[in-house]
Every structure is written in C-alpha cells, then in structure tokens.
Amino acid sequence: MRTAYCVETVRAAERELMARLPEGALMQRAAAGLAAVCADVLGRVTGARIVLLVGSGDNGGDALYAGARLARRGAGVRAVLLAPDRAHSAGLAALRAAGGRVAEDPYGALRAADLVLDGITGIGGHGGLRPDAVELVRATLGTDAVMVAVDLPSGVEADTGEVRGEAVRADVTVTFGTYKPGLLIDPARDYAGAVRLVEIGLELPPTADAEALQYRDVAGLLPVPDAESDKYRRGVVGVVAGSARYPGAAVLAVAGALRGGAGAVRYVGPAADAVIARFPETLVHQGPPGKAGRVQSWVVGPGLGDSGRDFLDEVIAEDVPVLVDADGLRLLDAARVRSRTAPTLLTPHAGEAAALLGVAREQVEAARLASVRALAEKYGATVLLKGSTTLVVGPHPESPVRVNPTGTPWLATAGSGDVLSGLAGALLAAGLEPLDAASVAAYLHGLAARHASRGAPVIASEVAAALPAAWRDIRDVLRD
C-alpha cells in the first residue's frame, strides 16, 4: 500500500523524531536524498548548472543544503532568494562554503539552467504561488531545465490536492518521509511529475489519510474460487440497468459483473433480449427485482432512465450491498440511503457528484477530496468518485481516502462506467467490504483499459473483455 499523510501528522512525527536527533539532522537526511535524486536526474553533476528557488521556510533550507552538496560535487549552483532576509541562514552559509552563490541575475541563471530546484514552499505553503514566484517559475518554461520540486510542487495544497492559483509544474518531486495526499490526488498530482520518496525515519500512525493500493494489495483482495465454491459462494449479482433507449448500458454492466468473477448475474429490466444475445449465461428476469431470486449484491442505475424509480426503491429496500450508479443516482433519496443497514456504494462521475451536492462540476473537479467526503457524509455511504484520479471513501469521517493509481485518460469513453459498476457489484457480492470492492474494481478497470488500449482508443466492451488479462497480471505477482 502506498500511503500518504496530512501535514499535521507529518509535523507531529517530525517533532517527535527531531527531539531524538541532533539539531538539523533531519534536514540533512532530506537534503542528502534530494541531492542524490538530482544527481541521478542530471547524470553528470560536475559542470551542471543548477538554480535553487529558495523561499522563506525550511523547504528553502532543504534546497540550499542539497545545493551545497551538489556544489561540492562540482556543479555550478546559484540561489535565487525570494525573501533574502528570511532565507534559511545556515543553509545559505553551507551553500556559500561549498562554492555556491546567490544569483546576481536570476533570469539569466534560469535561462541557462540544467536543473531548477523548487524550494519555494513545501508543507508550509498555502494558496498558490505569489506573483514574484510566478514570474520566476514562468522563466523556466521553454528552457531545457529539469524542474525538481522539493517535498511538493510549490503552490499545491498538500492535504487536499487542490491548486489555488499558479503552481510549479515539476518533472520530478522528491518528497520526504511520506507521500502527502496532494501527491496522489488531482489536480495537484498532475503537477508533481514522477514522485520519489526519501525515507527520513518518520514514525507514522497505522491509518493513513490517503492510500493507493499496489499490485500486491489487490492480489490479496481478489476473490478466488476454491474447490468448494458454488455460484452463491462466489457471489450472485443482480443488475437493474438499461432501458429501451439505453439497452447497451445493461449489456456493459452485465459484462463487468461476469468478468468481475460473479458466480452468476441476474438481470432485471427492459433490455433482457440484448443482454441474453450478448451473454447467454445471464439469468434474466422480467418481473420486479424483489422476485428475481437470491442475490448477494445489487447494481442499479446504468442507463435506467427516469422510469426506473420503482425498481430503485425496491432494491434500496433489500438488505444486501447495493451499488447505485448513473441514473440511479439522480433518483436517489439520501434519507432512505442513510437508513439502510447493509452497505451502499455510490459511483458518480464529477458531473453527477456536482448535481448531488448542488454545486458546479468545476467545483467538484477542483476539490475532489472534499467533494467525495461530503457525498459520503450526506448519504452515509461509500462513494467512488470517478475521474482523472478516482477516489473512494467510506462513510466514516476518519475513513482513509483510497486513490486509484491505474487510471488512464483512454477510459473517458461512453459505457466504461457501466462496466465499472458491474465489476464493483461482483466484488461486493463476493463479500469484499465496499471500500475494498470499489478500490479493487477501479484498479482492475484501469489496468484492463491499459491492456485494451496500449496507447490507442479503447471502447467499453473491450475494457470488460480485457478484465481477465488484468486479473491474471495481478495474480502473477503472487508467484514472485
């Protein structure tokens, strides 16, 4: 599991560690790791032209000490001090002692730089870059310089991934002690480039603020049948989806559920002919969901249209996990969801989330973490917010946010959400907790899309068809 912690927790762990170490030792660890990554990026340090953008806090201190290390190895290092009277004085002295200098012509130095170290702000920064910093950062655009952010790209919000105003666009971010949520969550994640973690010995609490499943975690969560399994042990999924207008949504949701390892899929709705034609293994039912036979989870909503309200109400009243997507979300009553005893999983994209929260879509996209938490609280449900980084949170305020690392922009295609809902429904039916079912589904879905796409456009039915390949990929790690 890749874990990220909020600033408050990082600061507490730093204080605790600093109390046990000689003064400045922690910053030296950070600077040593930072300098090593810079050397790696540069290939050859001797003769390299390095510019440090130095803010008024310890983030600038890290940059100065790393600059000193690189200067000792033969790099030409120039520091641009954003607030000369408040720059880290010991760091500046170290830089000077190593042969580095304060830049007399900052813009000239930036134009000639091979590498720029962004030490303007780290976890102490708020509210985007200030105008003087914006101007400097802009001067690096259009040059060949590699931008390496210290701890975080300056200007992004560490705890939320929001970007209020301008921020540094880094090629590499060297972060200390732990990832910060903003390095996993868009839009900030997109500013960070490749992230390198430098261990500095922080002791952090067992529960992270944000986490991203890795191959091995997903492998451990995937339900795999054993010799005793029957269809009910594997999980039977009920799918209420599709309409005369959107029969394809039903087909795709069923495809996701079947490829998600369901023991059986029951389909209820007006698109039974289309579903059977594509997947003869589906158990179709004409009547209401309550009469469809035993299921261990329901998926309701994809392509349902407005006429599905009765079916939705019936499903919501069932005492099994229910996933609500697409049209189902529009028809959903928050109080009824809150009163359910079995888990509910909602899977909106940003537009649907915005409608449920009564805000503009842009607001959801700019504040994805706050939005997904607000929805989870409003509905007392687990919520998966689809998008550039898919986020999942449980209904409890202290639930960590799961960030899906496998997404690809090729997934932004009609019907891919229907596949995801069927897939997550199958994992719910197999007995996974909603947070796991949703985050494993997002992981597999992203991986399947990458398999199917390989850099070219992909359609939703191909994503479903590529799920077994993604599944095999993940199970392969258990053989290592």
Ligand X SMILES: NC(=O)C1=CN([C@@H]2O[C@H](COP(=O)(O)OP(=O)(O)OC[C@H]3O[C@@H](n4cnc5c(N)ncnc54)[C@H](O)[C@@H]3O)[C@@H](O)[C@H]2O)[C@@H](O)CC1
Residues found near ligand X in the complex (CB under 6 A): 14, 18, 26-27, 30, 55-60, 62, 120-130, 133, 150-151, 176, 200
- Residue 57's binding partner among ligand X, K ion, none (Cβ under 5 to 8 angstroms by kind) is ligand X
**Is there binding between residue 325 and K ion (CB under 5 A)?**
no
**Is there binding between residue 154 and K ion (CB under 5 A)?**
yes
| Residue 297 assigned as binding residue | no
Nearer to ligand X, 155 or 321 (CB): 155
Nearer to K ion, 192 or 350 (CB): 192
List the one residue out of 138, 142, 196, 195 whose CA is nearest residue 168.
138
| Residue 105 assigned as binding residue | no
**Which amino acid appears at position 305 of this protein?**
G
Q: Minimum Å distance from CB 122 to ligand X?
A: 2
- Enumerate residues 98-137 that contact K ion by CB under 5 A: 118
- Residue 30's binding partner among ligand X, K ion, none (Cβ under 5 to 8 angstroms by kind) is ligand X
Q: Minimum Å distance from CB 400 to K ion?
A: 25
How many whole angstroms separate alpha carbon 28 and alpha carbon 7?
A: 20
Nearer to ligand X, 122 or 343 (CB): 122
* Partners of 448 in beta bridges: none
For ligand X, the nearest residue by Cβ is 122
Contact 199, 162 (CB under 8 A): no
| Residue 125 assigned as binding residue | yes
- Residue 58's binding partner among K ion, ligand X, none (Cβ under 5 to 8 angstroms by kind) is ligand X
Which CB contacts under 8 angstroms, 24+ apart, belong to 187-190?
187/161, 187/162, 187/163, 187/365, 187/366, 187/388, 188/152, 188/153, 188/156, 188/157, 188/160, 188/161, 188/162, 188/163, 189/161, 189/389, 190/388
CA distances to 267, 314, 320, 438 from 241, rounded to whole Å, are 8, 14, 17, 19
Q: Is 181 exposed, middle or buried (0-12, 13-18, 19+ CB in 10 A)?
A: buried
User: Dmax of the chain from CA atoms?
Assistant: 82
| Residue 58 assigned as binding residue | yes
**Is there binding between residue 262 and K ion (CB under 5 A)?**
no
- Residues in contact with K ion by CB under 5 A are 118, 149-150, 154
- Binding residues, by number, are 58-62, 118, 122-128, 151, 154, 249, 303, 349, 386-390, 417-418
Residues making up the annotated binding site for K(+) are 59, 118, 154
